[in-house]
Amino acid sequence: MTKKEKAGEDKIIFNIDKEKNFSEWFTEIIKKAELADIRYNVKGFLVFQPWSVLAMEKMYKFIEKVLRRKGHKPYFFPTLIPEKNFKLEKEHVAGFEPEVFWVTHGGTTKLTEKLALRPTSETAFYQMFSLWIRSYKDLPFKTYQRANVFRYETKATRPFLRSREFYWIESHCAHTTLKDAEKQVKEDMETTKETLHDIFCLPFIFFERPQWDKFAGAEKTFAADVLNPDGKIVQQPSTHLLGQSFSKSFDVKFKDKDEKEKYCYLTCYGPAISRIFASVIIVHGDNKGLKFPWKIAPKQVVIVPIMQNKEVIKKAEEIKQKLEENNIDVEIDLTDRRPGEKFYFWEMKGVPLRIELGKKELKNKELTVYRRDINKKTTIKEKNLIEKIKKLAKDYDKNLIKKADSVFENRIENVDKKEDLKTALEAGKIVRCGFCSLNKKGESCAEIIEKEIKAKVRGKKLIKEKPLGKLNKCIICGKKANEVVYIAREY
Amino acid sequence: MTKKEKAGEDKIIFNIDKEKNFSEWFTEIIKKAELADIRYNVKGFLVFQPWSVLAMEKMYKFIEKVLRRKGHKPYFFPTLIPEKNFKLEKEHVAGFEPEVFWVTHGGTTKLTEKLALRPTSETAFYQMFSLWIRSYKDLPFKTYQRANVFRYETKATRPFLRSREFYWIESHCAHTTLKDAEKQVKEDMETTKETLHDIFCLPFIFFERPQWDKFAGAEKTFAADVLNPDGKIVQQPSTHLLGQSFSKSFDVKFKDKDEKEKYCYLTCYGPAISRIFASVIIVHGDNKGLKFPWKIAPKQVVIVPIMQNKEVIKKAEEIKQKLEENNIDVEIDLTDRRPGEKFYFWEMKGVPLRIELGKKELKNKELTVYRRDINKKTTIKEKNLIEKIKKLAKDYDKNLIKKADSVFENRIENVDKKEDLKTALEAGKIVRCGFCSLNKKGESCAEIIEKEIKAKVRGKKLIKEKPLGKLNKCIICGKKANEVVYIAREY
C-alpha cells in the first residue's frame, strides 16, 4: 500500500477509542454514519437522517406491537395544550412550566390564551378521560400515542440524549383501584424488558426514584437506568403511579359496582424512542463504529460484490430477493468504491451481517458471511441461505445482549465509605451503598452527594434489598441505613 | 318485537340519509364510530380516536412503502422553523404568513427569534439541502417525512377535512434538470394513483391548477380532486413544480458534469393522511355508516358468535388465530349485546366482512360470511377459510372501486351556457366547460365564477383536452376558449 493509499484508508476507517474518548466518539459517529445533522438553525433541534429514522421506525413498531397486544389503544392528541389545563395540577405545572414552549400568536392575531407545545400530555389526555370514562365497565382504560414532545431545556443539549424536541410514545391508563394501577406499573416495566432488553439488547435496572426526584405530580416514579461507557446514566422509560391527584384535578371519575362515584387511579409510561436510540448507539458501538441489534438494524445484511461483473450482480440480486421475501432488509453496494472501503463503511454503519460475493463463491455455490459483532467470517452453502442467515442473526443478537449484560453487571460496585464514592464513580461505576432514607428525611444526604460528588441517588431496586453487613450505614450521615440505593452520574 | 325493543333498536341503528343530509351524516358518523372527539378545548384541534388512528397508520404504511420503493429516504425534521427561513422566499411567506402559529417564549424567556410551527417544511428542508447536495452524483435527492403540520385556518374548520393540526407526509426532491423535475411530478401523481385509487379505492382527477391558484412559491401546481356526495370537492395530494425559486433563495446548488455550479430544480408532494381519511369515510360510507376499503380497515373481519357457549367461543378463537396468521385483523365480539345489535354496530363501524358462528355453522363445519358492501351473506366451508376470505376481500375492494368510479364519472357534466352553471353545480356536478385562459388573463372570469356562482375553476386535465364544438367559447366572457376546464364547489 502506498503512502497515499494509506492516507485515504485512514480517512475511510472510523477509528476512535470509544472507552477513552467517548464524547468525541459519540459526536463523530453521529456525523459519519449520518444519523442526524446538528446544523439546523434552531438550538437543540435536530434533523434526523434516514439511517436513524429507519431504526427508530422499527423501534416504534416493536413497542407499539407490545402495547397493542396488552390492550392499549392508539390515539393522536393535539400537539397544543391550553395554559389552563396545565394550571389544574399544581405540582405538574410547577415542574414543567419553566420548560414549556408557548404559542402566543396565530398569524398576526394574538391568541386569547397561550398554548403549550406539549412537553408531555397528561393534561390533554385526562381532560378527555373525564368525558370518556363513565363506569367500572370502561376500566381499565388503556391508551397510548406516538408523538413528538418539546422541552425548553436549559441544560446543555446533546443529540438524541437531550434535545428540545424528541420522539416518544406516551401511554396513559385509568384504573379502578390502586392495586390495578400498581399492576399496570409492573406491566410497563415488563414491556420495557420485552423491548429494550430482549429486542434492542439494552441492559438496565429499574429503580424506584427517591421521593424528591419523582415526575411532577406523581406518587411514585420508576425508571430504567442505562449506562454509558463514561459511567454516566441515561434515564430510559419511566412509569409513574399518579394515584388520584390528576383524576381529582381533571375530574376523572367512574361509577363503581356499588353505584358510588369514585376517582380513577392513573398511571403513565413514556419510552422516548430517540433517547433509547442513543443508548442503542452508545451501548453497542465500538471503535469501528455502530453495531445495530438485528431486529432494528436499518439494513440487516449488506451484499458486497467483490467483482462487479454481470454474473456476480445477478447473483447478488437473486440473494437480495430471497432475503427480502423473508422480511430481511438488504442493500447491495454497487458504488465504485473498492471492496475494502465498502467493508469499512458498512461496519461503521453497524450492519450486522455482510455477504461477500466473488468468483470463488460463485464457483462453489457458497457465500462468505461476515459478522459485525465478532469480526469474523464464515462460509455458508447458498442453498442454506435463509436458514443460516436466520441462525447467524439469532447468535448475533444473543451475543450482543450477553456482552452488554456482562459489561453492565461488572459496573456495579459496593461502596461503604464516603471517601471511596468519588473514586468508584470516576472509574465509571454505579455505586451500590447503604442510605438513610428515600423519603424527605434523606434529601439532605442526597444533596451532599449532588454537590460534593456530582452524582445522584438513582433510587432503590423494586425487590427490596436489605442493607446488611458493611452497607448497614448511610454512606453520608453514617446513621442506620434503611435502604440499599444506587448512585451514579448523569448528563 | 315490543315497542320498547324497537325504540332500542332505533338507537342502535345508524340511519342517516348520506346523500340528502350529508353534513349531518358526516358529523354523526364521526361521533358514533368514535373516529375523533371534537370536544378538545382548542378550536380546530381534534383528538383522533383508535378507530381512525388504526386506519391512518395503515394508510401511512402503504404510502411510505411506495415512496421508499421509489427511492425516497425518510427524515424527521424539526417542528419549529425560524421566522428568517420563511422570509427568504417572498411568495411563500406571503402565502403562509397569515396561517402560521408562532412560538415566542420558552418558559418565561422571550425567544430572540419567533419560531413557526411548520405549516409545511420547504424552508426547513431546503436549507439542509444546501448543506447536503454537492454534485450531480447526489441527484436526484429524494426525501420525505411523516409529520404533523399546523395552520391557523381562518375559514370554518371541519374534522379531518380542515383542521388546524393535520397529519401528512411531505416529500421534497432536488433534480439536475427541469425535465427530471417534471418527471418527478408525474411519478408523484402515479404514487397517488397507486395508493389513493388502487388501495384506498378513491376516484379523483389530477388537475393542473390555474396560475392564480398555485402553491405559494411554485411554478406549477397539480392536485388530485376528490368529490363529496354534496358535490363539493376535497383537494387531496398535490405535487408542485417549484422550479428554481426556492433553490435560489436557499442556495441549493450542485456541480454538474461540466464542472459548472447550477441551481437544483425542486419539487414537493404532500399527501395529507387525515384529509384522505376524510374522503375514505365520505366516498365509501352509506346510510348505515362506514365502509372501509379492505386494506386499510382497522379491523377487516369481525366474528360474531350467535350463541356464546364454550364450543362456539373456542371455534371463534381458532378462526381468529388462523386469520391473524395470514395478517388479517380480526375482532371477536364477546360483549353481552344481542347478535342483531352487534351486526348493526360493526356495519356502522365499516368492517368489511363479518363471520357469523352458531350451532348450525359448527355442525356443518361452515361459516356464514356477511359482506358489508353488498349487504349479503354467503356460506363458506371452514376448511377453505383463508382462500375464501382472501377472495371475498378482493371482490369487496373491486366492487368498492367500481362503484366509486362510476359515481364519480356520472358527476361530470358538460355545460356551455353560463346560466346553466349554477343548476349543474347545485345538482352536485363537476362542470366541464370551455374557458378563455388559465394564465393571468383568465383570472377575471374565474373571479366572476367565485363571486356569482360560488364555485372555483379547478384547472385543466394533464392530457390536453381541446375546446371543440359547444365548448369552444369561454363560459364567462364568451371569447375563444383556449382550455377545457373543470369547475366545482369546495368547502
The model's pLDDT over B333-375, given as tens digits with 9 standing for 90+, comes to 999 999 999 999 999 999 999 999 999 999 999 999 999 999 9
Residue A479 and residue A113: Cα distance in Å, rounded? 51
Is the model's pTM score more than 0.80? Answer: yes
Distances (CA, A) of B92 to A399, B100, B122, B236, B251: 53, 12, 9, 20, 16
Residue A4 and residue A2: Cα distance in Å, rounded? 5
Q: Give A135's contacts in chain B (Cβ within 8 Å).
A: none
Q: Report how many Cβ contacts below 8 Å link chain A to chain B.
A: 149
How many C-beta neighbours within 10 Å does residue A324 have? 12
How is A394-424 classified by DSSP, letter by letter?
HHHHHHHHHHHHHHHHHTEEE---HHHHHHH
- Asked if B293 contacts B263 with a C-beta cutoff of 8 angstroms, the reply is no
pLDDT at A230: 84
Whether A313 has its CB under 8 Å from any CB of chain B: the answer is: no
pLDDT at A13: 86
User: Which residue in B78, B80, B152 is closest to A107 by CB distance?
Assistant: B152
Instruction: Quote the Cα angle for B483-B489-B491, to 5°.
Output: 135
B158: Cβ contacts below 8 Å, ≥ 6 apart: B26, B491
- Asked if A55 contacts A277 with a C-beta cutoff of 8 angstroms, the reply is yes
A293-312 residue pLDDT tens: 999 999 999 999 998 899 99
A375: Cβ contacts below 8 Å, ≥ 6 apart: none
Q: Which residue has cell 434529601? A: A443
pLDDT at B387: 98
Domains in chain B with CATH codes: 22-284 (3.30.930.10), 301-392 (3.40.50.800), 412-490 (3.30.110.30)
Whether A71 has its CB under 8 Å from any CB of chain B: the answer is: no
A303: Cβ contacts below 8 Å, ≥ 6 apart: A316, A319, A320, A330, A331, A332, A333, A354, A355, A357
User: Which residue in A127, A150, A154 is closest to B41 by CB distance?
Assistant: A127
Task: Please name which of B146, B142, B169, B75 lies closest in space to residue A50, comparing C-alpha atoms.
Answer: B75
What are the beta bridge partners of residue A267? A173, A241
Residue B423 and residue A441: Cα distance in Å, rounded? 81
> What's the distance, CA B279 to chain centroid?
6
Task: Please name which of B163, B209, B164 lies closest in space to residue B488, comparing C-alpha atoms.
Answer: B209
Which of A31, A84, A101 should be substituted to probe chain B, the one whose Cβ sees the most B Cβ atoms within 10 Å? Answer: A101
Q: Give A167's contacts in chain B (Cβ within 8 Å).
A: 76
Residues 143-172 on A with a CB inside 8 Å of B are 148, 150, 152, 154, 165, 167
- Asked if A229 contacts A18 with a C-beta cutoff of 8 angstroms, the reply is yes
- The residue in chain B having the minimum alpha-carbon distance to the alpha carbon of residue A165 is B78
Which of B37, B42, B111 should be substituted to probe chain A, the one whose Cβ sees the most A Cβ atoms within 10 Å? Answer: B42
**Helix, strand, coil tally for chain A in percent (to 5):** 40, 30, 30
Residue B287 and residue B274: Cα distance in Å, rounded? 22
Residue A287 has pLDDT above 90, yes or no: yes
pLDDT at A3: 53
- Asked if A169 contacts A148 with a C-beta cutoff of 8 angstroms, the reply is no
- Asked if A456 contacts A488 with a C-beta cutoff of 8 angstroms, the reply is yes
pLDDT at B1: 46
- Asked if A143 contacts A173 with a C-beta cutoff of 8 angstroms, the reply is yes
Are A165 and B128 in contact (CB < 8 Å)? no
Are A40 and B106 in contact (CB < 8 Å)? no
Residue B65 and residue B140: Cα distance in Å, rounded? 19
* CA atoms within a 13 Å half-sphere pointing along the CA-CB vector of B237: 27
Residue A224 and residue A204: Cα distance in Å, rounded? 6
Distances (CA, A) of A113 to A81, A100, A107, A152: 10, 14, 14, 19
Q: Give B132's contacts in chain A (Cβ within 8 Å).
A: 37
A133-155 residue pLDDT tens: 999 999 999 999 999 999 999 88
* CA atoms within a 13 Å half-sphere pointing along the CA-CB vector of B299: 21
Instruction: Quickly list H helices, A326-477.
Output: 339-349, 359-364, 385-410, 418-426, 443-453
Tell me the longest C-alpha to C-alpha distance in chain B: 86
Are B102 and A106 in contact (CB < 8 Å)? yes
Asked if the peptide bond before residue B140 counts as cis, ω within 30 degrees of 0, the response is yes
Classify burial at A422, counting beta carbons within 10 Å of its beta carbon; exposed 0-12, middle 13-18, buried 19 or more: middle
User: Hey, CA dihedral for A136, A140, A145, A148, is it positive or negative?
Assistant: positive
- Arithmetic mean of pLDDT, A9-29: 88
Residue A455 and residue B52: Cα distance in Å, rounded? 46
How many C-beta neighbours within 10 Å does residue B83 have? 16
Task: Rounding to the nearest 10 degrees, give the CA dihedral for residues A75, A80, A83, A86.
Answer: 30
pLDDT at B17: 96
pLDDT at A231: 86
- Asked if A36 contacts A52 with a C-beta cutoff of 8 angstroms, the reply is yes
Residue A1 has pLDDT above 60, yes or no: no
Q: Which residue has cell 438513610? A: A436
Residue A203 and residue A201: Cα distance in Å, rounded? 7
How many C-beta neighbours within 10 Å does residue A230 have? 17
Look up residue A74 and give its amino acid: P
Residue B60 and residue B63: Cα distance in Å, rounded? 5
Low-confidence ranges of chain B (pLDDT < 70): 1-11
Residue A93 has pLDDT above 90, yes or no: no
Q: How far is A344 from chain B (nearest CA, A)?
A: 21
Residue A226 and residue A238: Cα distance in Å, rounded? 12
Q: Which helix (H) or strand (E) holds A352?
A: none
Residue A187 and residue B273: Cα distance in Å, rounded? 33
Look up residue B71 and give its amino acid: G
> What's the distance, CA A481 to chain centroid?
32
Whether A76 has its CB under 8 Å from any CB of chain B: the answer is: yes
pLDDT at B13: 86
Distance in Å from the first CA to the final CA of chain A? 43
